[in-house]
Structure 1
Protein backbone atom coordinates (compact mmCIF):
# COMPACT_ATOMS: atom_id res chain seq x y z
CA UNK A 1 0.00 0.00 0.00
CA UNK A 2 1.00 3.61 -0.55
CA UNK A 3 0.17 6.68 1.48
CA UNK A 4 -0.65 10.04 -0.11
CA UNK A 5 -0.20 12.89 2.37
CA UNK A 6 -1.79 16.28 1.76
CA UNK A 7 -2.11 19.58 3.60
CA UNK A 8 -5.23 21.72 3.34
CA UNK A 9 -7.10 24.49 5.16
CA UNK A 10 -10.18 23.71 7.22
CA UNK A 11 -12.70 24.71 4.52
CA UNK A 12 -11.24 22.22 1.99
CA UNK A 13 -11.24 19.09 4.15
CA UNK A 14 -14.67 17.84 3.11
CA UNK A 15 -14.14 18.45 -0.63
CA UNK A 16 -10.71 16.84 -0.54
CA UNK A 17 -11.95 13.81 1.40
CA UNK A 18 -14.89 13.29 -0.98
CA UNK A 19 -12.55 13.54 -3.98
CA UNK A 20 -10.15 10.98 -2.49
CA UNK A 21 -13.05 8.58 -1.90
CA UNK A 22 -14.06 9.00 -5.56
CA UNK A 23 -10.46 8.26 -6.57
CA UNK A 24 -10.63 4.83 -4.89
CA UNK A 25 -8.69 5.63 -1.74
CA UNK A 26 -8.86 2.67 0.63
CA UNK A 27 -9.14 5.01 3.59
CA UNK A 28 -8.96 8.73 4.34
CA UNK A 29 -7.98 10.21 7.70
CA UNK A 30 -7.62 13.81 8.89
CA UNK A 31 -5.16 15.04 11.53
CA UNK A 32 -4.29 18.37 13.10
CA UNK A 33 -1.08 19.44 11.40
CA UNK A 34 -0.30 21.50 14.51
CA UNK A 35 -0.78 18.64 16.99
CA UNK A 36 1.69 18.65 19.89
CA UNK A 37 2.40 22.36 19.35
CA UNK A 38 1.06 25.55 20.93
CA UNK A 39 -1.24 25.94 17.90
CA UNK A 40 -3.01 22.60 18.50
CA UNK A 41 -6.83 22.82 18.44
CA UNK A 42 -9.34 20.59 20.24
CA UNK A 43 -12.39 19.61 18.20
CA UNK A 44 -15.31 18.12 20.10
CA UNK A 45 -19.07 18.44 20.36
CA UNK A 46 -21.87 17.73 22.78
CA UNK A 47 -25.52 16.89 22.14
CA UNK A 48 -27.50 20.09 21.78
CA UNK A 49 -24.42 22.02 20.70
CA UNK A 50 -23.24 22.87 17.15
CA UNK A 51 -21.43 19.93 15.53
CA UNK A 52 -17.63 20.03 15.57
CA UNK A 53 -15.82 21.37 12.52
CA UNK A 54 -14.76 19.06 9.69
CA UNK A 55 -11.07 19.76 10.28
CA UNK A 56 -8.42 22.03 11.69
CA UNK A 57 -7.03 25.35 10.40
CA UNK A 58 -4.13 23.32 9.01
CA UNK A 59 -5.35 19.81 8.35
CA UNK A 60 -3.16 16.92 7.29
CA UNK A 61 -5.15 14.51 5.08
CA UNK A 62 -3.78 10.99 4.65
CA UNK A 63 -5.15 8.64 2.00
CA UNK A 64 -4.16 5.00 1.49
CA UNK A 65 -4.04 3.51 -2.00
CA UNK A 66 -3.49 -0.04 -3.17
CA UNK A 67 -0.43 0.87 -5.25
CA UNK A 68 1.89 3.76 -6.08
CA UNK A 69 0.36 4.41 -9.50
CA UNK A 70 -3.09 5.08 -8.02
CA UNK A 71 -1.62 7.38 -5.36
CA UNK A 72 0.38 9.32 -7.97
CA UNK A 73 -2.58 9.67 -10.33
CA UNK A 74 -4.76 10.86 -7.47
CA UNK A 75 -2.22 13.54 -6.54
CA UNK A 76 -2.01 14.74 -10.14
CA UNK A 77 -5.79 14.85 -10.60
CA UNK A 78 -6.33 16.70 -7.34
CA UNK A 79 -3.78 19.39 -8.17
CA UNK A 80 -5.69 20.17 -11.36
CA UNK A 81 -8.93 20.95 -9.48
CA UNK A 82 -10.09 24.45 -8.48
CA UNK A 83 -10.82 23.34 -4.91
CA UNK A 84 -7.16 22.32 -4.48
CA UNK A 85 -6.16 25.99 -4.30
CA UNK A 86 -4.47 26.51 -0.93
CA UNK A 87 -3.72 22.80 -0.59
CA UNK A 88 -0.43 21.02 -1.17
CA UNK A 89 0.92 17.51 -1.73
CA UNK A 90 3.29 16.57 1.09
CA UNK A 91 4.42 13.31 -0.46
CA UNK A 92 3.78 9.70 -1.39
CA UNK A 93 5.37 6.86 0.55
CA UNK A 94 5.13 3.09 0.81
CA UNK A 95 3.38 1.72 3.88
CA UNK A 96 4.95 -1.40 5.36
CA UNK A 97 2.75 -4.50 5.35
CA UNK A 98 1.57 -5.35 8.85
CA UNK A 99 -0.83 -7.68 10.58
CA UNK A 100 -3.35 -4.89 11.18
CA UNK A 101 -5.67 -7.06 13.27
CA UNK A 102 -2.86 -8.11 15.61
CA UNK A 103 -1.52 -4.54 15.71
CA UNK A 104 -4.94 -3.15 16.62
CA UNK A 105 -5.55 -5.79 19.24
CA UNK A 106 -2.19 -5.08 20.86
CA UNK A 107 -3.39 -1.54 21.63
CA UNK A 108 -6.21 -2.81 23.87
CA UNK A 109 -5.15 -4.54 27.07
CA UNK A 110 -7.35 -5.61 30.01
CA UNK A 111 -8.61 -2.61 32.01
CA UNK A 112 -8.56 -2.70 35.80
CA UNK A 113 -11.67 -1.30 37.48
CA UNK A 114 -10.80 -2.64 40.92
CA UNK A 115 -8.09 -5.22 41.73
CA UNK A 116 -10.73 -7.96 41.38
CA UNK A 117 -12.91 -6.45 38.60
CA UNK A 118 -11.59 -6.15 35.03
CA UNK A 119 -12.76 -5.37 31.50
CA UNK A 120 -11.08 -7.91 29.22
CA UNK A 121 -11.08 -8.05 25.38
CA UNK A 122 -11.91 -11.50 24.02
CA UNK A 123 -8.37 -12.04 22.72
CA UNK A 124 -6.88 -11.71 26.23
CA UNK A 125 -6.95 -14.06 29.20
CA UNK A 126 -8.30 -12.45 32.39
CA UNK A 127 -5.68 -11.56 35.01
CA UNK A 128 -5.29 -14.17 37.74
CA UNK A 129 -6.64 -11.83 40.41
CA UNK A 130 -9.85 -11.08 38.46
CA UNK A 131 -12.92 -12.46 40.23
CA UNK A 132 -15.41 -10.48 38.12
CA UNK A 133 -14.89 -9.91 34.39
CA UNK A 134 -16.76 -8.14 31.60
CA UNK A 135 -15.75 -9.39 28.15
CA UNK A 136 -15.90 -6.44 25.75
CA UNK A 137 -14.11 -5.65 22.50
CA UNK A 138 -13.67 -2.12 21.12
CA UNK A 139 -16.57 -1.28 18.80
CA UNK A 140 -18.71 1.47 17.36
CA UNK A 141 -20.65 2.26 20.52
CA UNK A 142 -19.16 4.37 23.32
CA UNK A 143 -17.99 2.59 26.44
CA UNK A 144 -15.14 0.06 26.43
CA UNK A 145 -13.92 0.71 29.96
CA UNK A 146 -10.90 2.76 28.92
CA UNK A 147 -12.40 6.22 29.55
CA UNK A 148 -12.23 7.67 33.08
CA UNK A 149 -16.00 8.28 33.19
CA UNK A 150 -16.74 4.62 32.44
CA UNK A 151 -14.18 3.38 34.95
CA UNK A 152 -15.59 5.63 37.68
CA UNK A 153 -19.14 4.40 37.05
CA UNK A 154 -18.04 0.77 37.13
CA UNK A 155 -16.03 1.34 40.33
CA UNK A 156 -19.15 2.83 41.95
CA UNK A 157 -21.22 -0.18 40.83
CA UNK A 158 -18.61 -2.60 42.23
CA UNK A 159 -18.64 -0.82 45.60
CA UNK A 160 -22.47 -0.59 45.77
CA UNK A 161 -23.72 -4.00 44.57
CA UNK A 162 -27.06 -4.10 46.41
CA UNK A 163 -29.12 -2.54 43.58
CA UNK A 164 -32.08 -4.64 42.37
CA UNK A 165 -33.71 -2.51 39.66
CA UNK A 166 -31.32 -0.49 37.48
CA UNK A 167 -31.73 1.93 34.57
CA UNK A 168 -28.74 2.73 32.33
CA UNK A 169 -29.77 5.85 30.39
CA UNK A 170 -27.58 6.38 27.30
CA UNK A 171 -26.16 2.86 27.45
CA UNK A 172 -23.71 2.94 24.50
CA UNK A 173 -22.08 -0.50 24.52
CA UNK A 174 -24.14 -1.53 27.55
CA UNK A 175 -21.08 -1.83 29.75
CA UNK A 176 -22.65 -0.16 32.81
CA UNK A 177 -25.84 -2.19 32.54
CA UNK A 178 -23.77 -5.37 32.20
CA UNK A 179 -21.68 -4.34 35.19
CA UNK A 180 -24.81 -3.80 37.27
CA UNK A 181 -26.12 -7.25 36.27
CA UNK A 182 -22.76 -8.83 37.11
CA UNK A 183 -22.97 -7.32 40.58
CA UNK A 184 -26.41 -8.69 41.34
CA UNK A 185 -29.05 -6.43 39.77
CA UNK A 186 -32.03 -8.57 38.75
CA UNK A 187 -34.02 -6.09 36.66
CA UNK A 188 -31.77 -4.06 34.33
CA UNK A 189 -33.03 -1.73 31.60
CA UNK A 190 -30.59 -0.11 29.16
CA UNK A 191 -31.76 2.60 26.74
CA UNK A 192 -30.13 4.73 24.06
CA UNK A 193 -31.26 6.99 21.21
CA UNK A 194 -28.93 5.11 18.82
CA UNK A 195 -30.22 1.82 17.36
CA UNK A 196 -26.62 0.64 16.88
CA UNK A 197 -25.96 1.14 20.60
CA UNK A 198 -29.08 -0.83 21.49
CA UNK A 199 -28.00 -3.72 19.27
CA UNK A 200 -24.45 -3.55 20.65
CA UNK A 201 -25.81 -3.69 24.19
CA UNK A 202 -27.90 -6.78 23.42
CA UNK A 203 -24.97 -8.59 21.83
CA UNK A 204 -22.57 -7.67 24.62
CA UNK A 205 -25.06 -8.75 27.29
CA UNK A 206 -25.48 -12.11 25.56
CA UNK A 207 -21.70 -12.54 25.27
CA UNK A 208 -21.38 -11.88 29.01
CA UNK A 209 -24.17 -14.22 30.02
CA UNK A 210 -26.36 -11.58 31.64
CA UNK A 211 -30.03 -10.78 31.12
CA UNK A 212 -31.21 -7.24 30.53
CA UNK A 213 -33.72 -5.29 28.47
CA UNK A 214 -32.31 -2.92 25.83
CA UNK A 215 -34.24 -0.46 23.70
CA UNK A 216 -34.96 3.14 22.83
CA UNK A 217 -35.62 5.73 25.61
CA UNK A 218 -39.37 5.09 25.67
CA UNK A 219 -38.56 1.72 27.26
CA UNK A 220 -37.47 3.59 30.40
CA UNK A 221 -40.59 3.51 32.57
CA UNK A 222 -41.20 3.45 36.29
CA UNK A 223 -38.83 3.97 39.20
CA UNK A 224 -35.52 2.25 39.87
CA UNK A 225 -33.14 1.64 42.78
CA UNK A 226 -30.31 3.03 40.65
CA UNK A 227 -30.26 5.30 37.61
CA UNK A 228 -26.96 5.58 35.72
CA UNK A 229 -26.26 8.19 33.04
CA UNK A 230 -22.77 8.48 31.57
CA UNK A 231 -23.38 11.03 28.83
CA UNK A 232 -22.12 14.64 28.79
CA UNK A 233 -22.88 17.73 30.85
CA UNK A 234 -25.26 19.45 28.40
CA UNK A 235 -27.71 16.55 27.95
CA UNK A 236 -27.43 15.67 31.64
CA UNK A 237 -28.66 19.16 32.54
CA UNK A 238 -31.57 18.91 30.08
CA UNK A 239 -32.49 15.45 31.37
CA UNK A 240 -32.44 16.39 35.06
CA UNK A 241 -36.21 16.15 35.71
CA UNK A 242 -36.59 12.98 33.66
CA UNK A 243 -33.68 11.12 35.25
CA UNK A 244 -34.69 12.11 38.78
CA UNK A 245 -38.26 10.99 38.10
CA UNK A 246 -36.94 7.49 37.36
CA UNK A 247 -35.26 7.18 40.78
CA UNK A 248 -37.50 5.67 43.44
CA UNK A 249 -37.53 7.14 46.98
CA UNK A 250 -34.36 6.01 48.71
CA UNK A 251 -32.74 5.21 45.37
CA UNK A 252 -29.46 6.46 43.91
CA UNK A 253 -28.60 8.65 40.91
CA UNK A 254 -25.12 8.33 39.36
CA UNK A 255 -24.01 10.81 36.68
CA UNK A 256 -20.80 10.92 34.62
CA UNK A 257 -19.40 12.58 31.52
CA UNK A 258 -18.83 15.74 33.58
CA UNK A 259 -15.65 17.81 33.61
CA UNK A 260 -14.43 19.15 36.96
CA UNK A 261 -15.15 22.72 35.86
CA UNK A 262 -18.81 21.77 35.22
CA UNK A 263 -19.51 20.70 38.81
CA UNK A 264 -21.43 23.83 39.83
CA UNK A 265 -23.49 23.80 36.62
CA UNK A 266 -24.72 20.28 37.35
CA UNK A 267 -25.42 21.01 40.99
CA UNK A 268 -27.55 24.00 39.97
CA UNK A 269 -29.44 22.05 37.30
CA UNK A 270 -30.32 19.24 39.73
CA UNK A 271 -30.93 21.41 42.81
CA UNK A 272 -34.76 21.43 42.37
CA UNK A 273 -34.79 17.62 42.47
CA UNK A 274 -31.83 16.41 44.54
CA UNK A 275 -28.49 17.35 46.06
CA UNK A 276 -25.59 16.21 43.87
CA UNK A 277 -22.13 15.66 45.29
CA UNK A 278 -18.83 14.54 43.79
CA UNK A 279 -18.12 10.88 44.55
CA UNK A 280 -15.00 10.32 42.45
CA UNK A 281 -12.45 12.15 40.30
CA UNK A 282 -10.10 11.01 37.56
CA UNK A 283 -8.08 12.84 34.89
CA UNK A 284 -10.16 16.01 35.03
CA UNK A 285 -13.53 14.18 35.06
CA UNK A 286 -15.89 13.75 38.01
CA UNK A 287 -18.57 11.29 39.07
CA UNK A 288 -21.58 12.89 40.75
CA UNK A 289 -24.15 11.06 42.83
CA UNK A 290 -27.31 11.79 44.80
CA UNK A 291 -29.70 9.92 47.07
CA UNK A 292 -33.35 10.72 46.47
Structure 2
Protein backbone atom coordinates (compact mmCIF):
# COMPACT_ATOMS: atom_id res chain seq x y z
CA UNK A 1 0.00 0.00 0.00
CA UNK A 2 1.34 3.44 -0.95
CA UNK A 3 0.09 6.89 0.04
CA UNK A 4 0.20 9.78 -2.42
CA UNK A 5 -0.03 13.23 -0.82
CA UNK A 6 -0.99 16.25 -2.94
CA UNK A 7 -1.50 19.93 -2.10
CA UNK A 8 -3.98 21.95 -4.08
CA UNK A 9 -6.25 25.02 -3.96
CA UNK A 10 -9.76 24.38 -2.72
CA UNK A 11 -11.37 24.94 -6.10
CA UNK A 12 -9.43 21.96 -7.50
CA UNK A 13 -10.17 19.48 -4.69
CA UNK A 14 -13.30 17.89 -6.13
CA UNK A 15 -11.86 17.56 -9.63
CA UNK A 16 -8.61 16.12 -8.29
CA UNK A 17 -10.44 13.66 -6.03
CA UNK A 18 -12.59 12.43 -8.92
CA UNK A 19 -9.48 12.01 -11.08
CA UNK A 20 -7.69 9.99 -8.38
CA UNK A 21 -10.65 7.67 -8.00
CA UNK A 22 -10.73 7.16 -11.77
CA UNK A 23 -7.03 6.26 -11.59
CA UNK A 24 -7.77 3.33 -9.23
CA UNK A 25 -7.08 5.00 -5.89
CA UNK A 26 -8.35 2.72 -3.12
CA UNK A 27 -9.43 5.73 -1.09
CA UNK A 28 -9.23 9.52 -1.24
CA UNK A 29 -9.39 11.86 1.76
CA UNK A 30 -9.03 15.61 2.19
CA UNK A 31 -7.57 17.50 5.15
CA UNK A 32 -6.50 21.02 6.05
CA UNK A 33 -2.99 21.59 4.66
CA UNK A 34 -2.44 24.05 7.54
CA UNK A 35 -3.57 21.66 10.27
CA UNK A 36 -1.66 22.00 13.56
CA UNK A 37 -0.32 25.43 12.56
CA UNK A 38 -1.45 28.98 13.40
CA UNK A 39 -3.20 29.07 10.00
CA UNK A 40 -5.45 26.07 10.80
CA UNK A 41 -9.13 26.79 10.06
CA UNK A 42 -12.26 25.23 11.57
CA UNK A 43 -14.97 24.24 9.12
CA UNK A 44 -17.64 23.50 11.70
CA UNK A 45 -19.16 25.79 14.31
CA UNK A 46 -21.38 25.13 17.30
CA UNK A 47 -24.61 23.17 16.79
CA UNK A 48 -27.34 25.40 15.44
CA UNK A 49 -24.88 27.99 14.16
CA UNK A 50 -23.75 28.44 10.52
CA UNK A 51 -20.37 26.99 9.58
CA UNK A 52 -17.55 29.58 9.76
CA UNK A 53 -16.56 28.66 6.19
CA UNK A 54 -17.33 26.06 3.55
CA UNK A 55 -13.80 24.87 2.79
CA UNK A 56 -10.15 25.25 3.71
CA UNK A 57 -8.01 27.75 1.81
CA UNK A 58 -5.33 25.10 1.22
CA UNK A 59 -6.13 21.41 1.16
CA UNK A 60 -4.07 18.26 1.26
CA UNK A 61 -5.48 15.36 -0.73
CA UNK A 62 -4.37 11.89 0.34
CA UNK A 63 -4.84 8.89 -1.95
CA UNK A 64 -4.05 5.25 -1.21
CA UNK A 65 -2.87 2.98 -4.02
CA UNK A 66 -2.27 -0.76 -4.00
CA UNK A 67 1.24 -0.39 -5.48
CA UNK A 68 3.89 2.27 -5.94
CA UNK A 69 3.63 1.84 -9.72
CA UNK A 70 -0.08 2.75 -9.72
CA UNK A 71 0.60 5.79 -7.55
CA UNK A 72 3.43 6.95 -9.81
CA UNK A 73 1.28 6.44 -12.90
CA UNK A 74 -1.34 8.66 -11.28
CA UNK A 75 1.25 11.37 -10.66
CA UNK A 76 2.48 11.21 -14.26
CA UNK A 77 -1.04 11.38 -15.71
CA UNK A 78 -2.22 14.16 -13.39
CA UNK A 79 0.89 16.28 -13.97
CA UNK A 80 0.01 16.52 -17.65
CA UNK A 81 -3.44 18.01 -16.93
CA UNK A 82 -4.09 21.76 -17.07
CA UNK A 83 -6.01 21.76 -13.77
CA UNK A 84 -2.95 20.32 -12.00
CA UNK A 85 -0.82 23.41 -12.68
CA UNK A 86 -1.54 24.86 -9.21
CA UNK A 87 -1.19 21.53 -7.42
CA UNK A 88 1.94 20.03 -5.90
CA UNK A 89 3.10 16.51 -5.11
CA UNK A 90 3.94 16.55 -1.40
CA UNK A 91 5.06 12.98 -1.13
CA UNK A 92 4.73 9.36 -2.20
CA UNK A 93 5.59 6.79 0.44
CA UNK A 94 4.81 3.19 1.42
CA UNK A 95 2.20 2.83 4.13
CA UNK A 96 3.13 0.47 6.94
CA UNK A 97 0.86 -2.53 7.34
CA UNK A 98 -1.39 -2.12 10.37
CA UNK A 99 -4.12 -3.99 12.14
CA UNK A 100 -6.82 -1.42 11.41
CA UNK A 101 -9.38 -3.11 13.65
CA UNK A 102 -6.99 -3.03 16.60
CA UNK A 103 -6.00 0.56 15.79
CA UNK A 104 -9.65 1.65 15.75
CA UNK A 105 -10.39 -0.18 18.98
CA UNK A 106 -7.45 1.49 20.71
CA UNK A 107 -9.17 4.85 20.30
CA UNK A 108 -12.09 3.78 22.51
CA UNK A 109 -11.15 3.14 26.12
CA UNK A 110 -13.50 2.59 29.07
CA UNK A 111 -15.29 5.78 30.13
CA UNK A 112 -15.86 6.61 33.78
CA UNK A 113 -19.26 8.15 34.58
CA UNK A 114 -18.83 7.89 38.35
CA UNK A 115 -16.12 6.02 40.27
CA UNK A 116 -18.22 2.83 40.13
CA UNK A 117 -20.20 3.36 36.90
CA UNK A 118 -18.38 2.75 33.60
CA UNK A 119 -19.02 2.45 29.86
CA UNK A 120 -16.79 -0.35 28.60
CA UNK A 121 -16.23 -1.50 24.98
CA UNK A 122 -16.47 -5.26 24.55
CA UNK A 123 -12.75 -5.62 23.83
CA UNK A 124 -11.84 -4.23 27.29
CA UNK A 125 -12.19 -5.77 30.73
CA UNK A 126 -14.22 -3.63 33.17
CA UNK A 127 -12.12 -1.81 35.78
CA UNK A 128 -11.98 -3.49 39.17
CA UNK A 129 -13.89 -0.64 40.80
CA UNK A 130 -16.83 -0.85 38.35
CA UNK A 131 -20.09 -1.98 40.02
CA UNK A 132 -22.31 -0.81 37.17
CA UNK A 133 -21.14 -1.51 33.62
CA UNK A 134 -22.67 -0.73 30.23
CA UNK A 135 -21.05 -2.73 27.44
CA UNK A 136 -21.12 -0.54 24.35
CA UNK A 137 -19.12 -0.41 21.12
CA UNK A 138 -19.08 2.49 18.65
CA UNK A 139 -21.82 1.96 16.06
CA UNK A 140 -24.40 3.55 13.80
CA UNK A 141 -26.21 5.59 16.45
CA UNK A 142 -25.21 8.48 18.72
CA UNK A 143 -24.28 7.68 22.30
CA UNK A 144 -21.02 5.99 23.31
CA UNK A 145 -20.54 7.77 26.64
CA UNK A 146 -17.74 10.01 25.39
CA UNK A 147 -19.82 13.15 24.72
CA UNK A 148 -20.51 15.56 27.62
CA UNK A 149 -24.28 15.43 27.03
CA UNK A 150 -24.34 11.64 27.40
CA UNK A 151 -22.08 11.69 30.45
CA UNK A 152 -24.24 14.30 32.19
CA UNK A 153 -27.41 12.27 31.59
CA UNK A 154 -25.75 9.14 32.94
CA UNK A 155 -24.43 11.03 35.97
CA UNK A 156 -27.98 12.20 36.67
CA UNK A 157 -29.28 8.63 36.40
CA UNK A 158 -26.61 7.39 38.84
CA UNK A 159 -27.36 10.23 41.27
CA UNK A 160 -31.07 9.30 41.22
CA UNK A 161 -30.52 5.55 41.48
CA UNK A 162 -33.01 5.28 44.36
CA UNK A 163 -35.77 6.54 42.05
CA UNK A 164 -35.02 4.18 39.18
CA UNK A 165 -36.63 1.10 40.71
CA UNK A 166 -39.36 0.46 39.74
CA UNK A 167 -39.66 3.66 37.68
CA UNK A 168 -41.33 3.76 34.29
CA UNK A 169 -38.79 5.41 31.95
CA UNK A 170 -38.93 7.02 28.51
CA UNK A 171 -35.75 7.62 26.51
CA UNK A 172 -36.90 9.88 23.66
CA UNK A 173 -34.37 10.02 20.80
CA UNK A 174 -32.59 6.97 22.17
CA UNK A 175 -29.74 6.70 19.63
CA UNK A 176 -27.62 3.78 20.82
CA UNK A 177 -29.96 3.22 23.76
CA UNK A 178 -27.26 4.05 26.27
CA UNK A 179 -29.50 6.13 28.55
CA UNK A 180 -32.30 3.58 28.59
CA UNK A 181 -29.77 0.85 29.34
CA UNK A 182 -28.29 3.02 32.09
CA UNK A 183 -31.67 3.30 33.82
CA UNK A 184 -32.08 -0.48 33.59
CA UNK A 185 -28.70 -0.99 35.23
CA UNK A 186 -29.97 1.06 38.17
CA UNK A 187 -33.21 -0.85 38.52
CA UNK A 188 -35.78 0.51 36.03
CA UNK A 189 -37.89 -2.33 34.61
CA UNK A 190 -40.53 -0.59 32.46
CA UNK A 191 -38.57 1.24 29.76
CA UNK A 192 -39.55 2.66 26.38
CA UNK A 193 -36.67 3.77 24.10
CA UNK A 194 -37.87 5.52 20.94
CA UNK A 195 -36.24 7.24 17.97
CA UNK A 196 -37.24 8.50 14.52
CA UNK A 197 -34.25 6.64 13.00
CA UNK A 198 -34.87 2.91 12.39
CA UNK A 199 -31.10 2.31 12.62
CA UNK A 200 -31.13 3.74 16.15
CA UNK A 201 -34.06 1.52 17.09
CA UNK A 202 -32.13 -1.52 15.86
CA UNK A 203 -28.95 -0.36 17.59
CA UNK A 204 -30.81 0.05 20.87
CA UNK A 205 -32.27 -3.46 20.62
CA UNK A 206 -28.83 -4.92 19.91
CA UNK A 207 -27.17 -3.04 22.78
CA UNK A 208 -29.96 -3.94 25.20
CA UNK A 209 -29.48 -7.63 24.37
CA UNK A 210 -25.71 -7.27 24.75
CA UNK A 211 -26.26 -5.84 28.24
CA UNK A 212 -28.92 -8.39 29.22
CA UNK A 213 -31.54 -5.72 29.96
CA UNK A 214 -35.20 -5.64 29.03
CA UNK A 215 -36.71 -2.64 27.25
CA UNK A 216 -39.04 -1.79 24.39
CA UNK A 217 -37.43 -0.05 21.42
CA UNK A 218 -39.38 1.48 18.56
CA UNK A 219 -40.51 4.58 16.72
CA UNK A 220 -41.85 7.60 18.67
CA UNK A 221 -45.45 6.37 18.60
CA UNK A 222 -44.27 3.65 20.97
CA UNK A 223 -44.20 6.21 23.79
CA UNK A 224 -47.55 6.01 25.59
CA UNK A 225 -48.90 7.39 28.83
CA UNK A 226 -46.80 8.98 31.55
CA UNK A 227 -43.40 8.11 33.01
CA UNK A 228 -41.55 8.79 36.26
CA UNK A 229 -38.43 9.66 34.21
CA UNK A 230 -38.40 11.21 30.72
CA UNK A 231 -34.94 11.59 29.13
CA UNK A 232 -34.21 13.40 25.87
CA UNK A 233 -30.64 13.96 24.73
CA UNK A 234 -31.16 15.59 21.34
CA UNK A 235 -30.45 19.26 20.48
CA UNK A 236 -32.06 22.54 21.50
CA UNK A 237 -34.13 23.10 18.34
CA UNK A 238 -36.00 19.76 18.38
CA UNK A 239 -36.29 20.00 22.17
CA UNK A 240 -38.16 23.30 21.76
CA UNK A 241 -40.54 21.75 19.24
CA UNK A 242 -41.08 18.70 21.44
CA UNK A 243 -41.82 20.67 24.62
CA UNK A 244 -45.58 19.97 24.84
CA UNK A 245 -45.15 16.31 23.89
CA UNK A 246 -42.33 15.58 26.33
CA UNK A 247 -44.02 17.43 29.18
CA UNK A 248 -47.25 15.49 28.59
CA UNK A 249 -45.31 12.26 29.20
CA UNK A 250 -44.06 13.35 32.65
CA UNK A 251 -46.07 11.78 35.48
CA UNK A 252 -46.99 13.58 38.70
CA UNK A 253 -43.80 13.77 40.73
CA UNK A 254 -41.83 12.64 37.67
CA UNK A 255 -38.60 14.05 36.28
CA UNK A 256 -37.83 15.58 32.87
CA UNK A 257 -34.14 15.42 31.91
CA UNK A 258 -32.97 17.30 28.80
CA UNK A 259 -29.52 17.42 27.17
CA UNK A 260 -27.97 18.58 23.91
CA UNK A 261 -28.23 22.19 25.11
CA UNK A 262 -25.49 24.81 24.97
CA UNK A 263 -24.92 27.38 27.72
CA UNK A 264 -26.30 30.18 25.54
CA UNK A 265 -29.54 28.25 24.89
CA UNK A 266 -30.68 27.93 28.51
CA UNK A 267 -33.07 30.90 28.53
CA UNK A 268 -34.83 29.92 25.30
CA UNK A 269 -35.41 26.36 26.57
CA UNK A 270 -36.76 27.66 29.87
CA UNK A 271 -39.15 29.91 27.96
CA UNK A 272 -40.27 27.08 25.65
CA UNK A 273 -41.10 24.78 28.58
CA UNK A 274 -42.50 27.43 30.96
CA UNK A 275 -46.18 26.71 30.15
CA UNK A 276 -45.76 23.18 31.52
CA UNK A 277 -42.64 22.82 33.67
CA UNK A 278 -39.90 24.97 35.20
CA UNK A 279 -36.50 23.96 33.85
CA UNK A 280 -33.26 24.60 35.72
CA UNK A 281 -29.61 23.78 35.01
CA UNK A 282 -28.58 20.65 36.89
CA UNK A 283 -25.10 20.07 35.43
CA UNK A 284 -22.64 21.54 32.93
CA UNK A 285 -19.58 20.35 31.06
CA UNK A 286 -17.50 21.83 28.23
CA UNK A 287 -20.11 24.43 27.28
CA UNK A 288 -23.03 21.98 27.40
CA UNK A 289 -25.71 21.93 30.10
CA UNK A 290 -28.15 19.42 31.53
CA UNK A 291 -31.59 20.84 32.31
CA UNK A 292 -34.15 19.17 34.53
CA UNK A 293 -37.63 19.74 35.92
CA UNK A 294 -39.96 17.87 38.26
CA UNK A 295 -43.74 17.89 38.10
CA UNK A 296 -45.67 18.67 41.25
Normalising by structure 2, we get a TM-score of 0.88
Find the counterpart in structure 2 of residue 250 from structure 1. Answer: 253
Name which of structure 1's ranges 15-24 and 223-232 shifts more when overlaid on structure 2: 15-24
Counterparts of 1:58-207 in structure 2, within 5 Å, are 58-80=58-80, 84=84, 86-161=86-161, 162-163=163-164, 164-207=167-210
Sort the Cα spacing of 1:4 and 1:118 in 2 relative to 1 into closer, same or farther, 3 A.
same
- 1:260 touches 1:284 (CA, 8 Å); kept in 2? yes
Gaps of 5+ in 1: none
| Counterpart secondary structure, 1:102 | helix
Sort the Cα spacing of 1:90 and 1:136 in 2 relative to 1 into closer, same or farther, 3 A.
same
Sort the Cα spacing of 1:226 and 1:79 in 2 relative to 1 into closer, same or farther, 3 A.
farther
- 1:120 touches 1:135 (CA, 8 Å); kept in 2? yes
Deviation, 1:210, is: 0.7
Sort the Cα spacing of 1:47 and 1:115 in 2 relative to 1 into closer, same or farther, 3 A.
closer
- 2:120 touches 2:134 (CA, 8 Å); kept in 1? yes
- 1:10 touches 1:54 (CA, 8 Å); kept in 2? no
Sort the Cα spacing of 1:48 and 1:155 in 2 relative to 1 into closer, same or farther, 3 A.
closer
What is the alpha-carbon distance in structure 2 between the residues aligned to residue 16 and residue 221 of structure 1? 53
Kindly report structure 1 stretches of 4+ aligned residues shifted beyond 6 Å. Answer: 45-54
Sort the Cα spacing of 1:239 and 1:96 in 2 relative to 1 into closer, same or farther, 3 A.
same
- 2:43 touches 2:51 (CA, 8 Å); kept in 1? no
Find the counterpart in structure 2 of residue 274 from structure 1. Answer: 277
Name which of structure 1's ranges 10-19 and 100-109 shifts more when overlaid on structure 2: 10-19
Deviation, 1:285, is: 1.4
**Which structure: larger Rg?**
2
Deviation, 1:51, is: 8.6
What is the alpha-carbon distance in structure 2 between the residues aligned to residue 171 and residue 116 of structure 1? 23
Match of 1:225 among 224, 228, 236: 228
- 1:13 touches 1:54 (CA, 8 Å); kept in 2? no
Deviation, 1:250, is: 1.9
Find the counterpart in structure 2 of residue 25 from structure 1. Answer: 25
Find the counterpart in structure 2 of residue 209 from structure 1. Answer: 212
Sort the Cα spacing of 1:102 and 1:217 in 2 relative to 1 into closer, same or farther, 3 A.
same
| Counterpart secondary structure, 1:177 | helix
Sort the Cα spacing of 1:271 and 1:96 in 2 relative to 1 into closer, same or farther, 3 A.
same
What is the alpha-carbon distance in structure 2 between the residues aligned to residue 169 and residue 84 of structure 1? 50
Gaps of 5+ in 2: none
- 2:2 touches 2:68 (CA, 8 Å); kept in 1? yes
What is the alpha-carbon distance in structure 2 between the residues aligned to residue 177 and residue 43 of structure 1? 33
Size of the aligned set, in residue pairs, is: 292
Sort the Cα spacing of 1:15 and 1:257 in 2 relative to 1 into closer, same or farther, 3 A.
farther
What is the alpha-carbon distance in structure 2 between the residues aligned to residue 284 and residue 59 of structure 1? 30
What is the alpha-carbon distance in structure 2 between the residues aligned to residue 253 and residue 264 of structure 1? 17
Deviation, 1:191, is: 1.7
